[in-house]
Amino acid sequence: MRAIDIPQIKKLSIPEKILLIEDMWDEIVSEEPLIPVPESHIKELDTRLAKSKLVQGKLLSLDELQARIAERK
């Protein structure tokens, strides 16, 4: 099914379409336990988490990064 095939959706304004998408996403999230997470995704997340812990003191916050960029200008 495609949204373009549903005439009622075509008639909605952009803000109404966004609200509809939010409602649909909330519905999907409420059924999350029904969606299995592949083992490869879990391994990748574990790898990334381990790497982030190794460089934790070296990471910048968004504010720090923006300040450094502003200093270069």
What DSSP string describes 13-68?
-HHHHHHHHHHHHHHHHHTGGGSPPPHHHHHHHHHHHHHHHHTGGG---HHHHHHH
Sites in the chain below the pLDDT cut of 70: 32
Residue 31's pLDDT is 79
Residue 66's pLDDT is 95
List the domain boundaries for the chain: 3-34, 39-72
Residue 59's pLDDT is 83
Residue 29's pLDDT is 84
Give me the residue label for tokens 């609200």. 19
Residue type, 70: A
Tokens of 12: 């909605």
Q: Which pTM does this prediction carry?
A: 0.44
